[in-house]
Amino acid sequence: MKNNSLFSNSFFIFVIRFFPSLANLLVVVWYSRHLPQETYGNYQHFWIQLSVLCPLACVGIHVLAITYPPGFIMKLLKAIKAGQYTMYGFWVLMLAGIFAALQHNALDISLFVPFLFLICYTFATIFESLLIVFRNYQSLVAINVLYSVLFWGIHWFVLGHGFSLQAVFSYLLILTVLRLCIYCGITAVNVQRYSEEEHEEDHNLAKIRTLWMHLGLYDVTQVLSSWIDKFIISLALSASLSAVYYNGSQNIPFLPLLLGAAGSAVLIQLARGGTKNETSDTIQLMNQMGKMLSSIVFPVFFFLLFFRVDLIVTIFTARYIPAIPVFMASLLILPVRAYHFTTVLQRMHKGNIINIGAIAELLLACALIYPLYRWLGLPGVALSFVISTYFQATFYLVYSARLLQTSPLKLVPYVNWIIKLIVFASLFIGIRYVCYRYFSGGIPLILGGVTMVLAIGISLLAEYKKQQKHGWS
């Protein structure tokens, strides 16, 4: 395996998904400042329900595809019967009908737009995963950069010309259809290219179907894990407290993309095979991924932790100062994001173990919400998901080590992490002290952000050069 494969695959997969997420983040900030609160809430209503229903429509297909090499994917597609394709089509149509009814009743937009939107969005997600497996990185980057520009342009145009939900989602539907058509065309070319490719890896279809079901369930539970706390708060507390919690518990932009990109890159690397000792390669890749992710996650964590007040006030205004303790509690989950804990389990077709951990994490978090809320208030709700996530990570790590017949400590670069935590903590404590002692206004936040970017760049460069010089050390 090439020494730079993990870096290059992770980088391209991240970039492919970065620009649409950036465009969405810009729209969220822009619309939250310029739309009436009720109108903005209705706009987000569409995306929240799409985010919940889309994983149900994909049923893990986009996740399963990353597990196998292109030749095997082609073999698998040929083995699926026409009746099974038809059943899946009916499943997507049923969910599209539900989504359309929900949007029509709540937002008073035509059924046609959300119905087609969910269908096109679902298949675009699946085809994008296939093109990642085919390693059409340059095409995907170009398509998603253009998509992101047009996505932002549509929102800007509609806001400046008499905003309406019908108009914005109609234009976005056209954009989604165009992206799906381009994906289909590129996929058709790749299908011809890889149809005759031979691959030694072979799996029983029943085993693959079981993994598919487990991955689909896991994808859904992950979505619920991200949204159930906000959903409960919105039902149990006032709208103002719900808004405070929502803004304070926001996911850090792009880190989930980074985590998914790294995990996908490792799976793609392992799926290509070509080595005699997959166990040894897996351990080395997992350590390398942990070193790479920690070079990004740890500087981000310390920057957000020490500059949290300036950040919340700058983005959401002083009205959301009560969200700062919630934000601080939510940040404690970041260090565990420096690793993709399900990669080994997914590679070894242990979807049942993945789901046991996912469901247990969700149940534990829900069980902790009320007592921690009574003790700490809103920050306690966020902390319940932090605690459950650490328990889940430990469970996945121990079980992965058992499957590989190695120690859990050998799967993580813990010495590398400890050194980075000490270095980055010292760096940002020093930067924060200097910034608040000698500067005021927005300068401390800017200097902290610049320090974060430099720390990430230097750390990644050091890891990359170390890998080139010492191999998998």
Q: List pLDDT tens digits, range 288-341.
A: 888 888 888 899 999 999 999 888 888 777 777 888 999 999 999 988 888 878
Query: Who has greater pLDDT, 89 or 230?
Result: 89
Of 231-235, 331-335, 402-406, least confident by mean pLDDT is 231-235
In this structure, is the dihedral angle defined by the CA atoms of residues 21, 26, 27 and 32, taken in order, positive or negative? positive
Of 78-82, 202-206, 310-314, least confident by mean pLDDT is 202-206
Cα–Cα distance for residue pair 191/202, rounded to 1 Å? 19
**HSE toward the beta carbon, residue 418, CA cutoff 13 A:** 5
Residue 153's pLDDT is 94
What's the rounded mean pLDDT across residues 19-42?
79
16: nearest Cα among 140, 150, 151, 180: 140
Residue 472's pLDDT is 46
Cβ neighbours of residue 222 closer than 8 Å, sequence gap 6 or more: 55, 358
| 155 pLDDT more than 90 | yes
Cβ neighbours of residue 77 closer than 8 Å, sequence gap 6 or more: none
Cβ neighbours of residue 187 closer than 8 Å, sequence gap 6 or more: 127, 130, 131, 134
Residue 469's pLDDT is 65
**HSE toward the beta carbon, residue 321, CA cutoff 13 A:** 2
Residue 2's pLDDT is 45
Residue 238's pLDDT is 64
| 154 pLDDT more than 90 | yes
Residue 279's pLDDT is 75
In this structure, is the dihedral angle defined by the CA atoms of residues 360, 362, 365 and 370, taken in order, positive or negative? negative
Of 165-174, 245-254, 353-362, least confident by mean pLDDT is 245-254
Task: pLDDT band for 221, please (50, 70, 90 cuts).
Answer: confident
| 202 pLDDT more than 70 | no
| 160 pLDDT more than 90 | no
Task: pLDDT band for 430, please (50, 70, 90 cuts).
Answer: very high
Task: pLDDT band for 248, please (50, 70, 90 cuts).
Answer: confident
What's the rounded mean pLDDT across residues 52-72?
79
Residue 473's pLDDT is 41
CA dihedral 306, 444, 449, 311 (to 10 degrees): 60
Q: List pLDDT tens digits, range 91-149.
A: 999 999 998 988 887 777 888 999 999 999 999 998 888 888 887 888 888 999 999 99
Are the CB atoms for 286 and 324 separated by under 8 Å? no
Are the CB atoms for 380 and 392 separated by under 8 Å? no
Q: List pLDDT tens digits, range 122-138.
A: 999 988 888 888 878 88
Phi, psi of 4, rounded to the nearest 5 degrees: -95, 5
Q: Output the CA angle 453-454-458, nearest 5 degrees.
A: 120
What's the chain's Rg over C-alpha atoms? 23
Residue 323 has what DSSP assignment? G
Cα–Cα distance for residue pair 473/470, rounded to 1 Å? 6
Residue 97's pLDDT is 93
- Pairs from 458-464 (Cβ < 8 Å, separation ≥ 24): 459/295, 459/296, 459/298, 459/299, 459/420, 460/292, 460/295, 460/296, 462/295, 463/291, 463/292, 463/295, 464/4, 464/7
Residue 5's pLDDT is 58
Are the CB atoms for 455 and 427 separated by under 8 Å? yes
CA dist 412 to 135, 223, 268, 284, 418, Å? 27, 26, 20, 9, 11
Residue 1's pLDDT is 40
Q: What is the mean pLDDT of the chain?
A: 82
What's the rounded mean pLDDT across residues 251-270?
67
Q: Output the CA angle 252-254-256, nearest 5 degrees.
A: 80
115: nearest Cα among 93, 88, 91: 93
What's the rounded mean pLDDT across residues 343-372?
85
Interhelix angle 378-404/239-248, nearest 10 degrees? 40
421: nearest Cα among 254, 297, 292: 297
Residue 11 region, left (φ>0) first, then alpha (ψ -120 to 50), else beta? alpha
What's the rounded mean pLDDT across residues 243-256?
73
What's the rounded mean pLDDT across residues 375-379?
90
Query: Who has greater pLDDT, 451 or 264?
Result: 451
Q: How many helices (H) and strands (E) does the chain have?
A: 20, 0
37: nearest Cα among 234, 237, 239, 226: 239
Q: Which residue has the tokens 């992490």?
A: 417
Are the CB atoms for 325 and 248 separated by under 8 Å? yes
407: nearest Cα among 398, 416, 415: 398
First to last CA, the chain: 15
Count Cβ atoms within 10 A of the Cβ of residue 403 and give its class: 0-12 exposed, 13-18 middle, 19 or more buried: middle
What's the rounded mean pLDDT across residues 27-45?
76
Quick one: what percent of the chain has pLDDT higher than 90?
26
Q: What share of the chain is helix, strand, coil (3-state, %, to 5)?
A: 85, 0, 15
Residue 3's pLDDT is 46
Residue 156's pLDDT is 93
43: nearest Cα among 126, 134, 165: 165
